[in-house]
Amino acid sequence: MNDETKQAVLNFTVRLGDDAVVMGHRVAEWCRNAPFLEEDLALSNVALDFIGRARMFYGYAAELANDGRKEDDFAYMRDHREYQNLLIMELPRGDFAYTMVRQLLVDVFNLYYLEQLMKSTDEMLAAIAAKSIKETRYHLRRSQEWVLRLGLGTEESKSRAQKALDDIWGFTHELFDLDELEQQMAGAGIGVDNGSLKESWSLKVKAILLEASLTVPEDGWKVKGGREGYHTEYLGQMLNEMQCVHRANPGLEW
Residue-wise pLDDT tens digits, 50-103 = 999 999 999 999 999 999 899 999 999 899 999 999 999 999 999 999 999 999
Residues 47, 44: Cα–Cα separation, whole Å? 5
- Judge whether 247 and 72 are in contact, CB under 8 Å: no
| Residue extents of the structural domains in the chain | 3-216+223-248
Helix 3-28 vs helix 233-248: crossing angle, to nearest 10: 100
Which residue type, as a one-letter code, is found at position 231? Answer: H
Residues 60, 1: Cα–Cα separation, whole Å? 15
pLDDT reading at 27 higher than 90:
yes
pLDDT, mean of residues 10-36:
92
pLDDT, mean of residues 102-120:
99
Query: Would you place residue 29 in the very low, low, confident or very high pLDDT band (cuts 50, 70, 90)?
Result: very high
Count the neighbouring beta carbons within 10 Å of the beta carbon of residue 113: 23
| Cα 32 from chain centre | 22
pLDDT reading at 254 higher than 70:
no
Say what percent of the chain tops pLDDT 90.
Answer: 83
Predicted pLDDT at 38: 83
Task: Please give the model's pTM, rounded to 2 decimal places.
Answer: 0.94
Mean pLDDT of the chain: 94
Buried b / exposed e over 25-61, threshold 16 CB at 10 Å, is bbbbbbeeebeeeebeebbbebbebbbebbbbbbbbb
Residue 52 phi, psi (nearest 5)? -60, -40
Q: What is the DSSP letter of 226?
A: G
Predicted pLDDT at 50: 98
pLDDT, mean of residues 135-153:
97
Tens-digit pLDDT profile for residues 190-208: 999 999 999 999 999 999 9
| Cα 57 from chain centre | 13
| Cα 183 from chain centre | 19
- Judge whether 46 and 142 are in contact, CB under 8 Å: yes
**DSSP states of 25-59:** HHHHTTTTTSSSHHHHHHHHHHHHHHHHHHHHHHH
CATH number of 3-216+223-248: 1.20.1260.10
Residues 178, 186: Cα–Cα separation, whole Å? 9
pLDDT, mean of residues 219-243:
90
Residues 85, 74: Cα–Cα separation, whole Å? 13
Which residues contact residue 246 at a Cβ distance below 8 angstroms, ignoring those fewer than 6 apart?
A: 72, 75, 76, 77, 252
- Judge whether 144 and 208 are in contact, CB under 8 Å: yes
